[in-house]
Amino acid sequence: MVSPLIITLIGPPGSGKGTQGALIAEKYNLNYIVAGNIVRRLMILNTPLGEQVRAGYLKGIPQPDEIIIEAFKNEIEGMDVSKGFLFDSFPLSLGQAKALEEILEKNKLSKNIVIYLDISAESVIKRINSRMICAKCSAVFLPADPAYRTGKCDKCGGELIVRKDDKPEVVRRRIKEYKSRTEDLKKYYEEKKRLVVINGEPSIEEIHKDIIKKIEGFIKKN
């Protein structure tokens, strides 16, 4: 019996994780869990936890491991684990990585393959400069989205704004901090021969083709 596929997709802000994640999840029919979506749901809670998460998000500060780990445990509960999973931006620390391994072991799932989208700060800035977010629910919109032109979120009706931490100088700092934060994580998975680094600069189609090639190679070896 073939073990369910478990994929972790990581990369700096604006590296294309959302686009590639949706394509990968659809191709392999995986449960698709996005850390950003979980955080945004926590943000709207009118509780001390919601306030804490919201404050960190708006300042671009990573959420504490214990909050993210507990949120993912709750998210997975009740899902059909036999379908496998695609985790977007989880884990992002060694603590989260070890917690994920415990979760996978508990559910009798195989180890995850970790795909890292590598992209330059300049390319990220170019992409991020064109996006807007909903001030109410934090959904992201690009110029191609109809809501982008109206300035109103088509999910909750909130006003679309440019995040303060989407400014070029802030983006460069966020990328530097992200790469520093995930350096040990990448080494951890590299030593376990489960890390795949993908060039995130080419077209969406080229990147997707490269990712699928690497995933298929990983499946054959495991």
Q: 18: buried, middle or exposed (CB in 10 Å: 19+, 13-18, 0-12)?
A: middle
Pick the CATH number of 6-121+187-221 from 3.20.20.150, 3.30.590.10, 3.40.50.300, 3.90.550.10: 3.40.50.300
First to last CA, the chain: 12
Give the type of residue at 2.
Answer: V
Residue 174's nearest CA partner among 211, 125, 221, 216 is 125
> Measured between alpha carbons, how far is 109 from 3 in angstroms, rounded to an integer?
7
Helix (H) or strand (E) holding 117: strand 113-118
- Output the pLDDT for position 104: 93
Q: What is the pLDDT along the chain (222 residues), one digit of tens a residue?
A: 468 999 999 998 888 898 899 999 999 999 999 988 888 888 888 888 888 888 877 776 788 889 899 889 988 988 999 999 999 999 999 999 999 999 999 999 989 999 999 998 888 888 777 778 888 776 778 787 888 889 999 888 999 987 766 677 777 887 888 888 899 999 999 999 999 999 999 988 999 999 999 999 988 887
pLDDT at 165: 64
For residue 18, what pLDDT is reported? Answer: 86
Summarised one tens digit per residue, pLDDT across range 158-191 is 999 877 666 777 778 878 888 888 999 999 999 9
Q: Which residues pair with 7 in a beta bridge?
A: 86, 113
Considering just the CA atoms, what is the radius of gyration of the chain in Å?
17
Question: How confident is the model at residue 139, as a pLDDT?
Answer: 76
Backbone angles phi, psi at 118, to 5 degrees: -95, 125
Burial 175-196 (b: 16+ CB within 10 A, else e): beebeeebeebbebbeeeebbb
Asked whether 175 and 167 are in contact (CB, 8 A), the reply is no
pLDDT score for 183: 92
Cα(115)–Cα(17) distance, rounded to whole angstroms?
A: 10
How many beta carbons lie within 10 A of that of residue 122, not counting itself?
12
Q: What angle do CA 47, 103, 29 make, to 5 degrees?
A: 95
- Helix ranges (H only) for the chain are 17-28, 35-43, 48-58, 65-76, 94-106, 121-128, 146-150, 168-191, 204-221
Tell me the backbone φ, ψ of residue 108, rounded to 5 degrees: 55, 45
Residue 13 and residue 128 in contact, taking contact as beta carbons nearer than 8 Å: yes
What residue ranges do the domains of the chain occupy?
A: 6-121+187-221
pLDDT on residue 54: 80
pLDDT of residue 216: 94
Report the pLDDT value the prediction gives residue 188, as an integer from 0 to 100: 96
